[in-house]
Amino acid sequence: MRSWIAALAALLCLGAAPGPRPVAQDVVLAETPAPRLADYRLFLDAAGRRPNAGLTPYALNTPLFTDYAEKFRYLYLPPGTKARYRAQGALEFPVGAVLVKTFAYPADLRRPAEDVRYLETRLLIRKANGWIALAYVWNAEQTDAVLKRAGARLDVRFIDAQGQPRQVDYAVPNQNQCKECHQLDKQVAPIGPKAQNLNGDFAYPDGQRNQLAHWTKAGLLAGAPPPGAAPRAARWDDPAEPLEARARAYLDANCAHCHNPRGIASNSGLFLDLGETRRAALGVGKGPVAAGRGAGNLKVSIEPGHPEASILAYRMASTEPGVMMPELGRSMVHEEGLALIEDYIRRMPPQ
């Protein structure tokens, strides 16, 4: 009798052409991480291209450089919940929130929308007792992504913006390495979605709008002031913005997740977050502490006027483990980012 009703109900549902099943909140909040990305139902298709309901795409004014990879970011919030605005640091997200970031390479960076290979999708999940970080690595067929806790190396080839073939020994971080960057006071924490970095326009399907304003209007964010009253990080690659603002935004996004007083590089005394104002803490005239050969025979992190005498630029220009900075997340030099920081140091007034 019961099974008959169930069968009928199933039939009725079929007849009504049910919508896609929502994001699996039980999987999101489960104690054990799901073995496959598909288990969360964050995407409607096996290839992870079409986000499910409840996912909002976003972008950062100035992102972390990751070997020229493209990044697709989404915020998932459980129905009826909102993030809370904070002027400093990441926004406050509710339990069940997921920050989704897919790292991908187009075959040719000059045609970014064509022939895009997904490498990994990283999730930051807000559990009841804090955040956890997970990386799911896509298969070659681009039909499935599986959990890789211990990290992986992937062979990647692409044509760069200048038309040159490039090869990357792309590193998927292990779970501890996720936390090395994503931490505040030893707890896992988001880095990107800070008000300052979201305070910019995004091209939504129905038009371009400021993200903070859009999130507020869409009921995703509470407590935010109008964008003009919120802090804003410069776009590192917008030549119309002041050089120092661009450089500081770049250092904030690429260095300050470790180089801040609550991060894993706190012992260096080199603090590169946007809020830092002490010149010595920002590296000006500051000697190395534990840099070893990372100091490259140079005496200070920043020698105003002289990028060639500044450890900061030296380490950005290196691809050697033990020398290069950041330590994790890249194996290539970010030529354009390095040029920006060199310019910033070159034009810095002497002490």
Partner 1 sequence: MIRFATALLAASALVGAAEARTLSVSPGPDAQERIQTALLDAKPGDIVKLAAGRYELSDGLSLDVDQVTVKGAGPDATILSFKGQKGAGEGLLVTSDRVTLRDFAVEDTRGDGVKSKGSDQISFLNLRVEWTNGPNEKNGAYGVYPVSSTNVLIDKVTVRGASDAGIYVGQSKNIVVKNSRAEFNVAGIEIENSMNADVFDNVATRNTGGILVFDLPNLPQMGGHSTRLFRNKVVQNDTANFAPKGNIVAGVPVGTGIMVMANRNVHVFENEIDGNQSAAVMLVSYTQTFDDKTYNPLPRDIVVRNNRIGKNGYDAKFAGAEILAKELGGVIPPIMWDGVTQHAQNADPVRVRLIDGPVLNLNLAAPGALMSAKPAVVDRLGDAVLAEPKPVSLPKPQADLGA
Binding site for partner 1 (CB under 8 A): 149-153, 169, 171, 174-177, 179-180, 186, 261, 264, 266-267, 269, 279-281, 285-300, 311, 320-323, 327-328, 331
| Shortest Cβ 30–partner 1 spacing (Å) | 17
> Of 336, 323, 327, 331, which is closest to residue 296 (Cα–Cα)?
323
* Closer of 115 and 176 to partner 1 (Cβ): 176
- Amino acid letter, residue 327: E
Return d(Cα 268, Cα 259) in angstroms, integer.
8
> Of 247, 253, 290, 250, which is closest to residue 270 (Cα–Cα)?
290
* Closer of 52 and 183 to partner 1 (Cβ): 183
Q: What is the DSSP letter of 43?
A: B
Positive or negative torsion for Cα 195, 196, 199, 202 = negative
* Closer of 156 and 220 to partner 1 (Cβ): 156
| Shortest Cβ 291–partner 1 spacing (Å) | 7
* Closer of 191 and 249 to partner 1 (Cβ): 191
* Secondary structure (3-state) at 138: strand
> Of 289, 286, 268, which is closest to residue 278 (Cα–Cα)?
286
| Shortest Cβ 183–partner 1 spacing (Å) | 9
| Shortest Cβ 299–partner 1 spacing (Å) | 4
Return d(Cα 97, Cα 91) in angstroms, integer.
12
| Shortest Cβ 141–partner 1 spacing (Å) | 22
* Closer of 60 and 125 to partner 1 (Cβ): 125
> Of 251, 331, 336, which is closest to residue 67 (Cα–Cα)?
331
